[in-house]
Amino acid sequence: MDNANIAIQVTNVEKVYKLYDKPSDRIREAFGFGRRKRHTEHRALKGVDLTIRQGECVGIIGTNGSGKSTILKIITGVLNPTGGSVTVNGRISALLELGAGFNMEYNGIENIYLNGTMIGFSEKEIDEKLESILAFADIGEYVYQPVKTYSSGMFVRLAFAVAINIDPEILIVDEALSVGDVFFQAKCYHKFEEFKAMGKTIVFVSHDLSSISKYCDRVVLLNQGTKLGEGAPKQMIDIYKQVLVGQYAIPEHTDSLLDDEEVRQAAADASSTGRSAAPQTTAAAENPELLEYGSKKAVIEEYYITDDQGVKTAAVLKGNPFTIHMKVRFAEEVPAPIFAFTIKNVRGTEITGTNTMVEKAFLEPVGAGEVKEVSFRQRMDLQGGEYLLSLGVTGYENNDFTVYHRLYDVLNLTVISDKDTVGFYDMNSTVEVKSV
């Protein structure tokens, strides 16, 4: 392998933590009071080797406690290894503990310069990036207030904006793409895709296996501090799923299999998002940065979601009926308008949708000044999680497709589920097991 093409080289890295029963034991051992060893050792990493080439997007997966975050902190210099070596060729920006370098007494602007300087940028370089950082964070005049007055959402938005707009050569991401509200998450994933398209080196840790599969060129699987394997995303994800449920024969050099309780806990942690929560009855959350366009011959004036009781809501229980509503006013005559909706996930993938032409529900002309109330009623079979709703009114004029009004990512829709199956939606299988 050409060493000049290597961005990160991790060689036989070990990390051992000393665990003490009480603080006084740490002090006694530090000052040499007595010969008895007062700590136990926890080997978080056990001789891990890892080579990441420039321009690669490499995912790291594994159960809780496998050493994923530890190896990222060693690569970024937050932690020192107990043994082995790490070589990094390129400037790193790390999305680990967002805002860890912020001074709570400083305002947002001052913290941007403080954080950028700590990463290794000059004041001139930060000046050039300031406008894009502020635009991405989008916290308005609060940027001139002390950070200690920020809400948690504003804090992570600013911290993320600083980290991802500094233009690093190597980006380290540890579950940070799930910060903020659903609209900010969509913006974060878009920025992440920009980095990948630019050929940046990316190291990505996540429990979100669909993101790992979508973005990563190669995946490394860790288990209890040992590298279990590396290879194509699908291959490593399949093995990881077997590890989660105790169905993979882990080689002896990895010390031991996960016991039953650890398996259950890891599986629960990896798939707990959005479960066992109570439904909300507030109006659906509107996106302040939605994309809107069209000729405006017809305008969507009102839109909302209702649950099976007819209550406006931002959250729908999986398995329950729900209705998407929009009210459309026509400024001019339209020969045959088509009303439509689309549901996407926060990474921009279109999951489902339909329109009145496909459903053969409305194929009539509409006159100027008329108002139509449109409703799409269906059962919610998507998996638990966050989604974005888009709406549109289109049609054909002289055989040419025409957009009268489109609203992209206009509402946030939360699906609450106590049973998530594989993929985007539930097959609603009826299962029967018989003795023979």
pLDDT at 187 over 60: yes
Question: In CATH, what class is 3-90+169-270?
Answer: alpha beta
pLDDT band at 259 (very low <50, low <70, confident <90, very high): very low
Tokens of 343: 């549901």
Q: Which amino acid is at 209?
A: L
Band (252; pLDDT cuts 50, 70, 90): low
Q: Where in the chain is the domain with CATH 2.70.50.60?
A: 285-416
- pLDDT score for 94: 77
3-state SS class at 109: helix
pLDDT at 63: 85
Q: Write out the residue limits of the CATH 3.40.50.300 domain(s) in the chain.
A: 3-90+169-270
pLDDT digits (tens, 9 = 90+) for 373-400: 999 999 999 999 889 999 999 999 988 8
Interaxial angle between packed helices 152-164 and 123-137, expressed in degrees from 0 to 180 and rounded to the nearest 10: 130
Residue 370 pLDDT grade (very low, low, confident, very high; cuts 50, 70, 90): very high
Fold of 285-416: Coagulation Factor XIII; Chain A, domain 1 (2.70.50)
Give the tens place of pLDDT for each residue, 127-141: 998 999 999 888 989
pLDDT, position 291 = 80
Pairing of strands 170-174, 92-95: parallel
CA distances from 368 to 11, 60, 296, 334 (A): 72, 57, 12, 8
β-sheet with 170-174: strand ranges across: 92-95, 170-174, 201-205, 57-61, 218-223, 226-231
In the chain, the percentage of residues whose pLDDT exceeds 90 is 43
- Taking CA atoms, 191 is separated from 57, 167, 188, 196, in Å, by 14, 11, 5, 9
